[in-house]
Amino acid sequence: MSRFTFYIFVSMTRLKEIWNRLDKGFLVALAISLLAVWPFISRASLPQGTDAELHIFRLHELSLLVRGGELYGRWAPNFYHGYGYPIFNYYAPLTYYLGLGVELMPRLDAVDGVKAVFVLGFILASVGMYGFVRDNWGRRAGYVATAVYIYAPYILYIDPHTRGVLPESFSFGIFPLALWTLDRVRRGEGRWAWVTAVLTTAAVILSNNLMGLLFFGMLFAWAVWQAMSGGAAERRSDSTTPRLFFALLLGLGVAAFFWLPVILERNAVNLNTLLGAGDNYDFRTHFLSLRELLAVSKRLDWGATQPEVVFNLGLPQWVLGGLGVVLLLAQRVKQAAHVTFFALALAALLFLMLPISTIVWETVPFLPFFQFPWRLLGATAAMLAILAGAAVSSLWGDEAKAGWRTAVFVALPLLFALPLTQPAPWPDFGDVFTGRMSEVEHKGRWLGTTSTADYVPATVDTTPQRNGSVVAPLYRDQPPDWVNWATLPDGATVAVETVTPLFTRYTVDSPKKFRFRLFLFDFPGWQARIDGQRVETELGRPEGFIVIPVPAGKHLVAVKFGSTPARTAAWAITITALILTLFAAWRLPDQPQSIHANRFTRHDRIVLGVVLGITAVTIFLLQPTGWLHHSSSNYVVETAETTVFVDFGKQIALIGYEAPVRQASPGDEIDVVVYWQAERPLDITYQAFVHLLRADGSLAAQSDKLNPGDFPTRQWPLDRYIRDEHQLQLPPDLSPGEYTISVGLWVQTEGWRLPVLDENGRQIGDNYVVSSLEVR
């Protein structure tokens, strides 16, 4: 036998051993997630118009940094009109580096990288939730928990598709995985469990700023609960509790390279724009009602620019998770102390999403940074999933029928979520390059992949206007030109050499000393050297640009983005934590992992068959026929309460509305939904209004939208409609009587309204009455 043949034989034998030891239940868990990831793996590209677009450009920027030699660049040099800003110093990096592994492959790009991370998040969520629940309540309970979690509306559709928030969506995958690995440490398992527990804890923190904070806090609270409750004491030695907290501490330490500079350098950037006051970023405007939480998801309309989203938890999630709470109160669940923690966490999360928690949000300093209380839907779904698994593990009854019972419990979340597995088709994203990103900034959609000027250096007093000479190289895939050529002295010359994206040399020759001005935001870490000697830079006000005093003569001016004491200390902590993790793993006994039945039983085959059956019917029958979604077209909204066609100036058509309330009292809030569609490409940004009018035509109450449907009219497509929601707040002193509700469009900056035209093109008004209202 040749050496090569011997190696092949050993490798195959080893793979066979691994396969034999593998719990085949993981394959069922992955099959459960197949329908959730199908839109990503069956369609090319990714949609525009969601936050996924931002993450694609961030990944592309990171790729340019890494390809240019900056392995962990904290500064994005091409963003913010080429002036750069420190987005990577403050934004969790894990998803971008995972996507980078795909983006660097031949023939793949940033779109493929982002898509791969979305899919990976679902896979990790399935593996982690199944593993944790299986270890505590059994394999079949793990199947149910996986289905309940993956097909929760927020996990399945709202976060990855409607919002497109890659880091947050991925955090929902890494959290159950971290919980599972830490639970294995709690159970006293050996080196592999220890290392994975530390690394997944770090991954939780590195996945998303806000969810990392929330989920690390929940993991720590869970560890404290375990220490206090003494659960499963018979299965762990006295050393496992300290080991659990040590794993959490080391995970925090491994992630220090990210979070410590965020804390210590928080005053170096503008973070105030992350907090709103009465606007979209004010948490007070995003609480949910109990009715919303209990609502059933609707079929999506492919004819809408943004299909109507119901911020709910899902009916099966409520039923199965609620069953866990009921059985807990009835003392009929296994590991009651363990289940109690998740029931209490569920109650806390539900409370924080309701308006009654306003005082808590106003009191706890960091909570307003979450902006949207409904962000907690993902964590709440995880709690419901675990409770569901604990519940059904107590309801098997006749073992002969357990497989079919499990299949029913697994099928319920899938069946109720089928409409959400059908996101509207998206066109090809197109090529990703820095010039395209710069053009998006030029159109005003965002700056530096953020829409609220967050993370801009605090020394920027006035945001500078776009400078064509700075961004022109970006359209040629070259670095921005930071030299302020107009301020050079007569006779001065500058030769530019880009060493890395964050290191540039300037050979300067000037007949006199001068201040060398760069179109580059100053920020801690930027250093300047003249002929190898460090020099102090000056600050160019009010734009916050770097200014370097340069003496007369010929000199080599080097400008480089380097470290700071905070970043150096952070890396030292990270390296120390990694060393301690490996040292502890070396010292730990090599205890065998928990052995679970890996035989594929009849019950498992039943569950797998039902899951694959639902998946196949959906993909090959229901999806092609379009039964799972609406397809509004030709100025007709299939879901509208009332459909009309009202022509506003041959520009925009009112094609439907919903004003179901006919009677109200002073102080009430009236919901009105208006459906608009562009009749032609629009070059004006129109505003929408909904007015409550008295009998004499005077205004009693109003709701105005700067961008109808939160979508600027200049960006409206011609083939899809806009759903525009309004809330009319009735004055508390409003007199009883009959009122009318009218809608219209106007240009706020100029004060004129679009006319309402009849079928012959003649103006018949400037608003349209959609309903009457009786105030009692």
Q: Which residue has the higher pLDDT, 664 or 595?
A: 664
How crowded is residue 169: how many other Cβ atoms within 10 Å of its Cβ? Answer: 29
Query: Exposed e or buried b for every residue in 623-654, given b needs 16+ CB within 10 A?
Result: beeeeebbebeebbbbbbeeebebbbbebbbb
Q: Report the pLDDT value the prediction gives residue 13, as an integer from 0 to 100.
A: 57
Do the beta carbons of residue 28 and residue 143 sit within 8 Å? Answer: yes
Query: Exposed e or buried b for every residue in 295-306, given b needs 16+ CB within 10 A?
Result: bebbbbbbbbbb
Average confidence (pLDDT) over 394-407: 76
DSSP tally for the chain: helices H, then strands E: 24, 22
How crowded is residue 420: how many other Cβ atoms within 10 Å of its Cβ? Answer: 28
Count, residues in the chain = 776
Reported as a pLDDT band with limits 50, 70 and 90, residue 447 is confident
Q: Report the pLDDT value the prediction gives residue 9, as an integer from 0 to 100.
A: 52
How crowded is residue 144: how many other Cβ atoms within 10 Å of its Cβ? Answer: 33
Q: Which residue has the higher pLDDT, 237 or 761?
A: 761
> In degrees, to the nearest 5, what angle opens at C-alpha 162 toward C-alphas 657 and 312?
75
Helix (H) or strand (E) holding 644: strand 642-648
Exposure on the CB side of residue 640, measured as CA atoms within 13 A: 29
The pLDDT tens digits of the residues spanning 260-276 come to: 999 999 999 988 777 76
Q: Report the pLDDT value the prediction gives residue 587, as an integer from 0 to 100.
A: 84
Which pair of structure tokens corresponds to residue 184? 């294995």
Which pair of structure tokens corresponds to residue 702? 């109003």
Do the beta carbons of residue 688 and residue 742 sit within 8 Å? Answer: no
Do the beta carbons of residue 148 and residue 317 sit within 8 Å? Answer: yes
Exposure on the CB side of residue 545, measured as CA atoms within 13 A: 20
Q: How far apart are CA 201 and CA 203, in angstroms?
A: 5
At 122, phi and psi to the nearest 5?
Answer: -65, -40
How crowded is residue 38: how many other Cβ atoms within 10 Å of its Cβ? Answer: 17
Q: Report the pLDDT value the prediction gives residue 596, as an integer from 0 to 100.
A: 61
In percent, the amount of the chain with pLDDT more than 70 equals 94
The pLDDT tens digits of the residues spanning 298-351 come to: 999 999 998 888 999 999 999 999 999 999 999 999 999 999 999 999 999 999
Q: Considering the chain, what is the average pLDDT of its residues?
A: 92
Q: Report the pLDDT value the prediction gives residue 234, as an integer from 0 to 100.
A: 42
Exposure on the CB side of residue 740, measured as CA atoms within 13 A: 12
Maximum distance among all Cα pairs of the chain, rounded to whole angstroms: 100
Q: Report the pLDDT value the prediction gives residue 236, as an integer from 0 to 100.
A: 46
Which pair of structure tokens corresponds to residue 265? 């350098």
3-class SS of residue 169? helix
Q: Strand 722-729 vs strand 669-678: parallel, antiparallel, or unpaired?
A: antiparallel
Crossing angle for the helix pair 565-587 and 191-207, to the nearest 10 degrees: 160
User: 509: which strand partners?
Assistant: 493, 554
Q: Report the pLDDT value the prediction gives residue 238, as an integer from 0 to 100.
A: 56
Q: Which residue has the higher pLDDT, 432 or 274?
A: 432
Reported as a pLDDT band with limits 50, 70 and 90, residue 400 is low
Q: Report the pLDDT value the prediction gives residue 105, as an integer from 0 to 100.
A: 96
